[in-house]
Amino acid sequence: MRNPTEIIPGVLFSSYLTMGRKEKVGFWEHSTLVLQVAGQMFFKTETDQFTTKRGDVMLVRKNQLAELTKIPLPGEDYQTIVILLKEDLLRQIALEEQFTSMQAYTGPSNILIPGNDFLHGFFQSILPYALHPEQKALSETLGLLKIKEAVQLLLHINPALKTFLFDFSASHKIDLERFMLTNYHFNVSVARFAQLTGRSLAAFKRDFQQVFDSSPRQWLQEQRLGEARRLIQDKQLKPSAIYLDLGFESLSHFSHAFKKKFGKAPSEWV
């Protein structure tokens, strides 16, 4: 197993996995273009659920929480090429191309791009750099040109993606109750939840108190423990199978919090 390899620091990555499946929760700060080179990836957000296979290309919208499962297949390792479409670079492209200000994007947050020879040819041109990162053959200047090429190809394939890519409007406030009831299990900080709902930390805590009559930390703990008890009692799931999905960093932390809340260790409820 290898960790993601930077081809261009902070911008272009290759993720490679040789053994077993790997699950993680990710925060997608930037819009991201992903090629599934080999293996499969299961991708789940609040609104979408995809399984990508060899050759699939996916465009992921910025500012999302997602559950990822990386799955090597028999006789086939897991590999993706990941391009972060950072806002500063997209703003530069918008200036160079003289794009006028974009209206707020309201379409789907995640898009599977239909098969396209030009886009696949583009990714094929990057693969040698991913396979031999130690040679550092792709300079930052050339790498940024490649990313601009990717953006141009996306616009050629689907001109409507212009608002997806070049919507620079600030995050607007979203329905706090609906968002938190859907996403409370993600193991992210209160500050990150505030950002995702379009609020400052102070505004988030104030609005949260008004909606839930509780502080964010206390409410998150209560929700996660309540769901844990339901899964253990009703679904007969083992504590070791659920603690990560419910936002707990370790089994010992989960067990301690569960016993403090319900008076018995989670293993005693099975």
Strands 31-38, 57-60: pairing is antiparallel
pLDDT at 17: 66
Percent of the chain past pLDDT 70, that is, above it, reads 94
| pLDDT, position 270 | 65
Helix axes 87-96, 140-157, angle to 10 degrees: 70
pLDDT of 102 reads 67
Fold observed for domain 5-166: Jelly Rolls (2.60.120)
pLDDT given for residue 1 in this prediction: 40
Q: Is 252 exposed, middle or buried (0-12, 13-18, 19+ CB in 10 A)?
A: exposed
Q: What is the pLDDT of residues 219-254, one digit of tens each?
A: 999 999 999 999 998 888 899 888 888 888 889 999
Query: In the chain, which stretches have pLDDT less than 50?
Result: 1-2
d(CA 83, CA 11): 6
> Per-residue pLDDT tens for 212-227?
999 999 999 999 999 9
- Domain residue limits, the chain: 5-166, 176-268
pLDDT of residue 223: 94
Q: Render pLDDT for 15-29 as a digit per residue (tens, 0 to 9).
A: 776 667 777 777 888
Q: Do domains 5-166 and 176-268 have the same CATH topology?
A: no
Say what the pTM is: 0.73
* Neighbouring residues of 178: CB distance < 8 A, sequence distance ≥ 6: none
> To which H or E segment does residue 102 belong?
none
What is the distance between the alpha carbons of residues 96 and 237, in angstroms, rounded to a whole number?
55
For residues 239 and 233, give the distance between their C-alpha atoms in angstroms, rounded to a whole number. 11
Please state the CATH superfamily assignment of the domain spanning residues 176-268 in this structure: Homeodomain-like (1.10.10.60)
Q: What is the pLDDT of residue 76?
A: 86
What is the C-alpha R_g of the chain? 21
User: What per-residue confidence (pLDDT) applies to 96?
Assistant: 85
